[in-house]
Structure 1
Amino acid sequence: MNAKKILVINGPNLNLLGLRQPEVYGSTTLAELEEHCRVHGATMGFEVDCRQSNHEGTIIDWLHETRGTSHGIILNAGAYSHTSVAIMDAIASVERPVIEVHLSNIHAREEFRHTSFVSKVAKGMICGLGTTGYMLAIDALVDMLEHEK
């Protein structure tokens, strides 16, 4: 694994970005967000691979793949953040740094959204900053990767 790579995974319903509840999630589409991530990562010498799935097992498979393909992960697991012990276990098993991202402030929303299984194993979490949170997550992840020993 020579090239420096980051995997950005978006979970359920994020394929509807820009259409679904724009007052909560913004008007940027998923395609636009992915392009911003790729361009931002490239400015720091990182290839950014963006993926989205509504299926928990697919997200777990992608997490497992990172052991040989990516240096770090940015994950917006959507509602799976609050329900999936399986995704939490997959993150713990891949030995790659993970930054959790949420477009909305999950702590200012319904009570069930206040707990995240992903947070228990992520290096950090950014929430409530819309798509800017992804750029901040890339910055933080690159900084971690460049300063690891």
Structure 2
Amino acid sequence: MSALSKRNPELFGLIRSLDDLNRTVDEFAAKIGVRVRHFTSNIEGEILDYVHKTANEVDAFLINPAGLTQFGMATRDALMEPGRPYLEVHFANLARWFHSTGTYDDSSIFSFGATGVMEGLRHHGYLGGLLALTLALDDTAFLGAGAPPVPPGDA
């Protein structure tokens, strides 16, 4: 994620920095009336600490596992433990990305526990994912009666 400006724009789009992505997400979140917390790290332990620290404070997680996509079992487990929905999002279509790098195993260990997966839609996947999570949190027929209630303005 920290290398957005160096990525292939055909696959990753025109977002040139994490700040640009966060600003785009914040603008969209304001339009749909939700609050978003941003957290980014290249260190899995820091991601684990963040997930554990905030699990009871947020209604859902939206994560781009990036370099952890195939190896971040601890992060995936931390996201599954609190029973909050999480959505996995990737700028690129994983099958296309891994094929272009000569890696033919395009599986993600995060998909198994995710409520949903958005990939290949560049930064639009974050916006679609945020909207989908917001709607899903309000849909007890989808997430079940045990889903945490969504306070007005939170997602």
TM-score w.r.t. length of structure 2: 0.81
Task: Give me the whole-angstrom Cα distance separating, in 2, the residues matched to 1:40 and 1:146.
Answer: 18
What pairs with 1:9-20 in structure 2 (closer than 5 Å)? 14-20=1-7
8 Å CA contact retained: 1:25, 1:103: yes
Residue 89 of structure 1: aligned partner? 77
> What is the one-letter code of the residue matched to 1:133?
G
Deviation, structure 1 residue 26? 2.3
Where structure 2 has 5 or more consecutive residues not aligned to the other structure, the ranges are 146-155
Task: Give me the whole-angstrom Cα distance separating, in 1, the residues matched to 2:111 and 2:42.
Answer: 20
8 Å CA contact retained: 2:29, 2:35: yes
Task: Give me the whole-angstrom Cα distance separating, in 1, the residues matched to 2:57 and 2:113.
Answer: 20
Residue 26 of structure 1: aligned partner? 13
- How many residue pairs get matched? 136
Task: Give me the whole-angstrom Cα distance separating, in 1, the residues matched to 2:27 and 2:37.
Answer: 11
What pairs with 1:1-149 in structure 2 (closer than 5 Å)? 14-28=1-15, 29-110=17-98, 111=103, 114-148=106-140, 149=145
Where structure 1 has 5 or more consecutive residues not aligned to the other structure, the ranges are 1-13
Give the fraction of aligned pairs with identical amino acids, expressed as a percent.
29
Q: Which has the higher helix share?
A: 1
Deviation, structure 1 residue 25? 1.8
Q: Which has the higher strand share?
A: 1
Task: Give me the whole-angstrom Cα distance separating, in 2, the residues matched to 1:112 and 1:122.
Answer: 22
TM-score w.r.t. length of structure 1: 0.84
Deviation, structure 1 residue 61? 1.3
